[in-house]
Amino acid sequence: MTVDGKRLRIAMQKSGRLSQDSQALLTSCGLKINLREQRLIAHVENMEIDLLRVRDDDIPGLVMDGVCDLGIVGENVLEELSLQRQIDNEPYNYQVLTRLDFGGCRLSIAVPQEENYQSVKDLEGRTIATTYPRLLNRYLKQNGVNARVVTLKGSVEVAPRAGLASAICDLVSTGATLEANGLKEVEVIYRSKAVLIQRRDLAESNKLNMINKLMPRIAGVMQANE
């Protein structure tokens, strides 16, 4: 299985909160997908489309760098990489084709449940663990708070218990993870949903035609879900 340059490449999450819904959306749009669990690439049987199944954090970069034509990704991950590339003076071109009706979550700051938290000023001078350092730093700056941000790629919720930080900034959807780790949500800093993005420089007419065919189907699926 190789990637053919003529086929539309869509990046989607391989496993995680967005994968089931992303797959269901594409299936509802008429794509016949034959997913074998361990495969990076899945060829769509009835259309000139390949699905690249990757880590969610890799999706914005794949689209911004033109390696994939479309991507289904959470706005949180997209915004974090956009901020990073702005700071590093790197290109971060992409176009949002549509917001989707799944993947809703919030990026929030949480502290130990027993803490008597009053306001954002209570974060002054603390160490906060997160996977989203640039979104967090932007929020802290906007609120005039000086805090130390430590970046962890995973297991952020155990950082306070492990003594690595006294607060965290992580995604919350049901709240079960915070609850299970003795933490409470105190500030919402970003609200996110899944979005469909396209690379900016896409010019191949066969691919653009395919996207033009897909978009009304996606709109139709979302309307039916309402």
What is the nearest approach in angstroms of ligand PRP to the Cβ of residue 190? Answer: 13
> How far apart (Å, rounded) are the C-alpha atoms in residues 214 and 216?
6
Specify the residue, 121 or 153, whose C-beta has the smaller distance to Zn ion.
153
Residue 72 in contact with residue 10, Cβ under 8 Å?
Answer: yes
Q: Which of 59, 171, 189, 210 binds ligand PRP (CB under 6 A)?
A: 171
CB neighbour list of residue 156: distance below 8 Å, 6 or more residues apart: 129, 130, 131, 168, 169, 170
CB of 56 to Zn ion, least distance (A): 4
15 binds ligand PRP (CB under 6 A): no
Sign of the CA dihedral 53, 200, 104, 209? negative
> What distance, in Å, lies between the first and last C-alpha atoms of the chain?
37
Query: Residue 79 binds which one of ligand PRP, Zn ion, none, with CB within 5 to 8 A depending on kind?
Result: none
Candidate list 50, 56, 170, 187; residue touching Zn ion; CB under 5 A: 56
* Residue 50 interacting entry, from ligand PRP, Zn ion, none, C-beta within 5 to 8 Å by type: none
Identity of the residue, 50 or 56, whose beta carbon is nearer to Zn ion in the bound complex: 56
Contact pick of 39, 47, 175, 215 for ligand PRP (by CB under 6 A)? 175
The minimum distance between CB 40 and ligand PRP, in angstroms, equals 18
Strand spans (E) along the chain: 8-13, 41-43, 49-54, 70-74, 95-99, 105-112, 127-130, 148-151, 167-172, 183-192, 194-198
What are the residues binding Zn ion (CB under 5 A)?
56-57
What are the residues binding ligand PRP (CB under 6 A)?
16-17, 56, 154, 170-177
